[in-house]
Amino acid sequence: MKLARRAKILGLVLKTASRCNLNCTYCYVYNHADKTYRQQPPLMSDDTVDHVVRRVGDYCRHHRSRSFQFVFHGGEPLLAPPLFYQRLVGLVGRSLPAYTRVRYALQTNAVLLTDAWCQTLGELDIRLGISLDEAAAHDQYRVDHRGRGSYEAAVAGLRRAQQHPALRYYPGVLAVIDPLSNPRQFLEQLLRLEVRVLNLLLPDGTHHVPPPHLPPGTTQTPYADWLIGLFDAWFAMPAARRPRIRFFQEIISLILGFDTSAVALGRTDNLFLVIETDGCIEAEDSLKVCQHGITKEGMHVRLHSLDEALDAPLIARCAETPPRLPTACQRCPIGDVCGGGFIVHRYHPGSGFDNPSVYCRDLMKLITHIQNQLITSLPVSFVEKGYWQPVSFEQVLGVLAGQTYP
């Protein structure tokens, strides 16, 4: 058993803009329980940036951090002007110790991504992540403030970023799963768009506000069924043609026993803190779906160091290292891989976070499927040396119902 230790802060998610040019129906910032964005300044000020960079410099010197990441996020971070990022990157370069390698990333809906932006972001060595769902789902959910879909504009932005000579890194894509879409068509879409790196998000949801298509008490597993369809098509492809799908790669690594960090599965030793446009330091951003104001704990870059922020109760809960498995998951034969699921998906107002994921059955079905597929594809001698054994979805359900695991 790993001993508990203080979490290492891997980086900050900087909310550089609190408003967005789109109004995606599933967005946790605007269209779930929390409405605190209304009190946020639209953009992060230079004064707040100065405090943030000073706090990061203090943290890196104190912990002799070899690396630190800034993830620019919103709202839509391209609503802040290029000069904002040029100033911030310059200040970081002058303020952080030379031994700290700094990496930058920016997550955008790509609608505002012009060639001039690509030039600026490339010069600042900022990597791009672009939000892009399955085409029809994208136009249905990722809409502007007049309800119009944004798929075409997002694809144009993706193409621009892929082709711009100033951007050294190929953009990654982040997609929210729509279980009503066709996973094989989605894979074909990725290949057509030459996407090389993809990550997948399960829609936000909790035990009291369940995700779409997952009503309370259902025994259906629409997300597992969709993900298994995608996994099987992806796994059958020649390795050289496969895009990297991080969600699957993390599950495979965990099954093989690697100490992989996988936030979406509740398996992370590395922590990102969120800084709002007004300078408040907060825990995981999407916790906002749990209840209004839940991430507000009175921590602020003007008043508190990053280490002090780790003592705020919700931040401390997210920073537990190693992460605590929910009580009901302790008997689960795949608990080491699943980790109880993403912390947001465990929430219930009555019992907090000590619950299995609202996606429990979906995760169980997906992980057992991937484990069994791996076992049949690996050389027998390799499997025999490991501790893997086939385990079915029904067997895991049986164990959790009190049956003995063979």
Rounded to a whole number of angstroms, the minimum distance from the CB of residue 257 to ligand SF4 is: 16
In the bound state with ligand SF4, the residue whose beta carbon lies nearer, of 41 and 322, is 322
Sole window of 29-37, 73-81, 250-258, 356-364 interacting with ligand SF4 (rule: CB under 6 A): 356-364
In the bound state with ligand SF4, the residue whose beta carbon lies nearer, of 68 and 353, is 353
Q: What value, to the nearest 5°, has the Cα angle with vertex 34 and ends 308 and 277?
A: 50
Sole window of 24-32, 90-98, 181-189, 335-343 interacting with ligand SF4 (rule: CB under 6 A): 335-343
What are the distances in angstroms from CA 143 to CA 24, 193, 356?
5, 21, 32
Using the CB atoms, write b or e for 371-401: b if 16+ within 10 Å: bbbbbeeeeeeebeeeebeebebebbbebbe
Query: Is residue 363 a contact residue for ligand SF4 (CB under 6 A)?
Result: yes
Question: Hey, CA dihedral for 368, 257, 373, 403, is it positive or negative?
Answer: negative
> 146: how many CB neighbours lie within 10 A of its CB?
6
In the bound state with ligand SF4, the residue whose beta carbon lies nearer, of 294 and 400, is 400
Query: Is residue 341 a contact residue for ligand SF4 (CB under 6 A)?
Result: yes
Query: Is residue 371 a contact residue for ligand SF4 (CB under 6 A)?
Result: no
Rounded to a whole number of angstroms, the minimum distance from the CB of residue 7 to ligand SF4 is: 21
In the bound state with ligand SF4, the residue whose beta carbon lies nearer, of 60 and 343, is 343
Contact 149, 133 (CB under 8 A): no
Residue 50 CB burial class (10 angstroms; 0-12, 13-18, ≥19): middle
Task: Kindly state the tokens that stand for 168.
Answer: 């050294």
Sole window of 31-39, 63-71, 104-112, 331-339 interacting with ligand SF4 (rule: CB under 6 A): 331-339
Sole window of 46-54, 184-192, 271-279, 329-337 interacting with ligand SF4 (rule: CB under 6 A): 329-337
Whole-number Å distance between alpha carbons of 336 and 329: 10
Query: Is residue 358 a contact residue for ligand SF4 (CB under 6 A)?
Result: no
Query: Is residue 309 a contact residue for ligand SF4 (CB under 6 A)?
Result: no
Q: Which of 364, 366, 370, 391 forms a contact with ligand SF4 (CB under 6 A)?
A: 364
Whole-number Å distance between alpha carbons of 231 and 245: 9
Residue 19 CB burial class (10 angstroms; 0-12, 13-18, ≥19): middle
Q: Which of 332, 343, 366, 370 forms a contact with ligand SF4 (CB under 6 A)?
A: 332
Sole window of 109-117, 293-301, 307-315, 330-338 interacting with ligand SF4 (rule: CB under 6 A): 330-338
Query: Is residue 357 a contact residue for ligand SF4 (CB under 6 A)?
Result: yes
Sole window of 43-51, 246-254, 307-315, 360-368 interacting with ligand SF4 (rule: CB under 6 A): 360-368
Query: Is residue 340 a contact residue for ligand SF4 (CB under 6 A)?
Result: yes
Whole-number Å distance between alpha carbons of 316 and 310: 5
Rounded to a whole number of angstroms, the minimum distance from the CB of residue 15 to ligand SF4 is: 29
Task: Kindly state the tokens that stand for 116.
Answer: 């001039």
Contact 100, 65 (CB under 8 A): yes
Query: Is residue 211 a contact residue for ligand SF4 (CB under 6 A)?
Result: no
Rounded to a whole number of angstroms, the minimum distance from the CB of residue 363 to ligand SF4 is: 5
Strand, helix or coil for residue 178:
coil
Query: Is residue 205 a contact residue for ligand SF4 (CB under 6 A)?
Result: no
Contact 207, 358 (CB under 8 A): yes
Q: Which of 44, 338, 370, 391 forms a contact with ligand SF4 (CB under 6 A)?
A: 338
Rounded to a whole number of angstroms, the minimum distance from the CB of residue 331 to ligand SF4 is: 8
Backbone angles phi and psi of 394, in degrees to 5: -65, -35
Residue numbers of the site for ligand SF4 (CB under 6 A)? 329, 332, 334-335, 338, 340-341, 356-357, 360, 363-364, 400
